[in-house]
A and B are shown apart, each in its own frame.
Chain A
Amino acid sequence: MLVFTIRRIVMMIPVLIGASLLAFVLVSVSGDPVADQVFILEQSTGEPVPQETVDNIKERLYYDRSLPERYWLWLTGIGETNGDIGLLQGEWGPSIEGSAIDVGEEIGSRFWITLRLVLFATVASIAIAILTGVVSAVKQYSKVDYLLTFIGFLALSMPTFWFGLLMKEAAVQTNNAIGSTFFQTYRDSTRGFHGNGWEVFLDAIPYLIIPTIVLMLTGYAAMSRYQRASMLEVLNSDYVRLARAKGVRNGTVMRRHALRTALIPVATFAPLGLATAMGGSLVIERIFGWRGLGAFAYDAITHNDAFAVLGYLFISGVIVLIGILISDLMYGVLDPRIRYE
């Protein structure tokens, strides 16, 4: 098991490097932060920017190097003495905002805010999707099945941001009606709140409820469809029929024989749900005024802050890969035929 885990982690390194290279190229070809900075300077001073300043900006952002060289520097930092670039050395590259923002520090301080939202939403949506998928399959072509299928399709077709705005306004209405602010619809935690881990967690709950429900939407929709399909397939299979013929009790057939096998496709799909939720956090944090990674990515994109965007892409790639690792390990628990030798 341990050997397997280590081997999987080692195999993920090339994927992560490949993803970072592709992301680097895509971000680099789609925008030029130097030209943007020069434009902003021109707007604020009202006169053309001297070539010297342009060169300084280029040098500071490493845009005086070629693309492959810049990528190498960003990844390793080898051959550079400035000490502000090179992931291997724990440096995330200079932000366009200069020394005001340290990309690594920003990501570190915002990481947990987003992670707890994404994890809560993913785990909750998987749990509800498994439940409704199984109910739907067991009661195939019943009213319940049709209703759940329709809800699934509706969730699949509803844009997260629209649902989020609706829920936010609904929460505000509810707060007004009951005359209290139970649902917090702005910011991720109480301003200036200090306490130990447990108190911080309790403080965050009212802020988390509505955004978690909203973020659950997309993951739930696709996953419940998968769960229904795979449960149906298992229920129609010979070994389940055999188990019933043997006289195994219905509950046991469902739990021990059917559900366990039916969970395998969903385990494959779960990391993808994590990836969608990471993307969805961009929308959620924009709507609810959070200061997490999603908001960080949004600001970085709108300011064309290349190294900040890349930092975000890197960290979310790591999160998704960890999700894939967990789902690989889940296979072994669900499918006893898989051996980790």
Chain B
Amino acid sequence: MSNTTTTAFEAEAITTKERTQLQLVTKRFFRHKAAVISLIGFITIVLFAFVGPYLWQWDHRIHTEIPSWAPPSPEHPFGSDRAGRDMMGTVMRATGQSLKVALVVALGSTFIGAVVGAVAGYYRGWVDALLMRLVDILFVIPFLVITAAMAGNVRGGTTWWHMALILMVFGWLGTSRAVRAEVLSLREKEFIEAARSVGGSDLHIIFRHLIPNTMSVIIVSATLQIAFAILSESTLSFLGLGIQAPDTSLGLLIQAAESSAFSERWYLFYIPGIFVILIALTINFVGDGLRDAMDPRQTMVRR
């Protein structure tokens, strides 16, 4: 009898519930309205690009049944181009290709950047000096020109896979600097000392302790990588140095409609452009929301 009263009393007294880190972050993220709307928008675009082709009757190829220069209509919501491609299907394919490049670049260069940053920050000394000089040096080389020079020379035509690899070579620089800065302060903390004193190897400390604790920096920079990769990929494709026809990409579509912004076929210019902007915009907002949500200095109250 008395036992139950105490528990009921205790339950009343404890008003704060324990929350895991993930719950806290999710809760904070969902308070950021722009970020949530952007996340929904981004997921919609991903579904449009990867599930859309299974539901839509036309693909990105030329079909003789499709009239040339068809204006937007229920059969062809985005119209058609001169050769007779349905633009809805083409934009789906193009968005998919650009997104594939972006996601691979984000994963790959975030991984490279995290490892380089953690290794440099953990070992300090000559390893750090060497790696960070390498980053400095790569920053001096103009990114767009060197990637263009590499992408323009791929034998047998550049595919989305080549694009991803080339962008990855230069994509990791910012991430590595951010992770290194975090690790430099983390390595002096007690838990790293504890891990070392119980005999944890360097590899163990880097991959099990340091990198997980810099996750917030890593996730934020990964989202920004997606935006960066989409913009770089479409720029290179626009210049004719990226993904090559007969495959398609958003940059190629804009290039094909280069001077039609104010003509009667304005939609051929704006639709692919708006897709590039929407992908980059939504992902930038998601990154911003994640940064706010994962910042340990943030409280539940907005200052």
A residues near B, CB below 8 A?
A: 15-16, 18-19, 22-23, 26-27, 30-31, 153-154, 156-162, 165-166, 169-170, 172-173, 272, 275-276, 278-280, 282-283, 286, 297-298, 301-302, 304, 309, 312-313, 316-317, 320-321
Contact = CB atoms under 8 A, between A and B. Distances in A.
Interface in B126-155: 133-134, 136-146, 148-150, 152-154
A301 to B, nearest CB: 5
Contact of B281 (A153, A165, A173, A317): A153
Contact of A15 (B140, B234, B279, B281): B140
Given A23-B146, A286-B239, 8 more contacts: A30-B150, A157-B277, A157-B281, A162-B277, A275-B140, A283-B239, A298-B239, A302-B152
A283 B50 CA distance: 30
Nearest to B227: A157
Contacts, number: 138
B115 interface: no
A314 to B, nearest CB: 10
Contacts of B267: none
Given A161-B235, A286-B239, A279 B144 contact: yes
Nearest to A297: B145
A153 B136 contact: no
A199 to B, nearest CB: 32
Contacts of B141: 19, 22-23, 313, 317
Interface stretch (B63-71, B202-210, B255-263): B255-263
B145 A279 contact: yes
A15 B142 contact: no
B238 interface: yes
A154 B238 contact: no
Interface string B271-291: 001001101110011001000
Nearest to B38: A153
B227 A280 contact: no
A309 B222 CA distance: 31
Interface of B: 133-134, 136-146, 148-150, 152-154, 169, 227, 231, 234-235, 238-241, 251, 254, 258-259, 261-262, 269, 273, 276-277, 279-281, 284-285, 288
A19 B143 CA distance: 12
Contact of A156 (B145, B238, B284): B284
15 contacts: A15-B133, A15-B140, A19-B138, A156-B284, A157-B231, A159-B235, A160-B235, A275-B140, A275-B143, A283-B239, A301-B145, A304-B153, A313-B146, A317-B140, A317-B142
Nearest to A33: B153
Majority secondary structure of chain A interface residues (helix, strand, loop or mixed): helix
A193 to B, nearest CB: 26
Contacts of A316: 142, 145
Contacts of B235: 159-161, 283
B294 to A, nearest CB: 16
B145 A309 contact: yes
Contacts of A309: 145, 149
A304 B152 CA distance: 8
Contacts of B281: 153-154, 157
B280 to A, nearest CB: 3
Contacts of A169: 259, 261-262
A18 B131 CA distance: 13
A19 B133 CA distance: 10
A31 B262 contact: no
Contact of A301 (B241, B276, B280, B284): B241
A304 B288 CA distance: 40
Contacts of A320: 139-140, 142
